[in-house]
Amino acid sequence: MSTLTDQIINRDIRLIALDMDGTLLNNEQDISHANKEAISKAKEMGIHIVLSTGRSYSTVYEYAKELELNSFLVTVNGGEIWDSNGRLLERKLLSVEEIQMMWELKKLHNTKYWAIAVDKIYRDDFPEDLALSDSEWLKFGFDVEDDDARNAIIQELEKRKLQVTNSSPTNLEVNPYGISKAKALEKVCERIGITMENVMAMGDSLNDIAMITSAGIGVAMGNAQEKVKEEADWITVTNEEDGVAKAIQHWVFS
């Protein structure tokens, strides 16, 4: 760890990328006072704060407003990029055929599900006929308690060339192939005029690994999945212990 610390201690951090659930947010879905203070201080230093999340824009906007953010937003695992004025810069969609296939998988394995469309989040009222639906699809999610069923679904999805990650140990999040938070953040960096070496990224789940390993400093939460911790440069405390604030204090303020 000392060698690693020597390598990254002098990184010029210009952007902090934050996952939300399990990272920025505590278990009550709130942003702690300590996290707010650290983010505010980092903003005053001219550092871009970018929420980089699996959530849709509609469930992110109020948090960005609460933090008075004035930078980009990366939503649905990198499927969308938004500017500081809420203007959509990029969007990658799943096809209706891919959504239909995943709906059939959901029924075959009797799993819980959710699906994010441009206009709506579906949880209990999936369209009876997708061909007649006007929805444009961003992401499909499975929640699967049974390990064998989850592995069978993963194999089928990967065979179909879809991007599969998770935001908790029992779920699967599916985006178009090649979509990731890291790819979206690279595009944000290009617009700002920096590189991923100038980024500190924090997260707790598999959908955070790409940005954690691509960033100049990759931070895993204390509550992160073990695979995420293995890939990170540094591990902070949990989302219930102001882990985001602790990491900013350690790498940006010290």
Between helices 96-109 and 147-159, what is the axis angle to 10°? Answer: 160
Which helix or strand (DSSP H or E) is residue 73 part of? strand 73-75
Of the candidates 41, 45, 46, the residue with the CA atom closest to the CA atom of residue 193: 46
How many C-beta neighbours within 10 Å does residue 114 have?
16
List 12, 19, 21, 129, catalytic entry: 19
Which residue is associated with the tokens 């995943």? 102
For 161-209, the DSSP string reads: TEEEE-SSTTEEEEEETT--HHHHHHHHHHHHT--GGGEEEEESSGGGH
CA angle 144, 148, 150 (to 5 degrees): 35
Q: Is residue 147 annotated as part of the catalytic site, yes or no?
A: no
- CA distances (Å), origin 213, targets 50, 170, 219, 234, 238: 17, 23, 9, 11, 19
Alpha carbon distance 152, 144 (integer Å): 11
Which residue is associated with the tokens 């210009």? 14
| Residues identified as active-site | 19
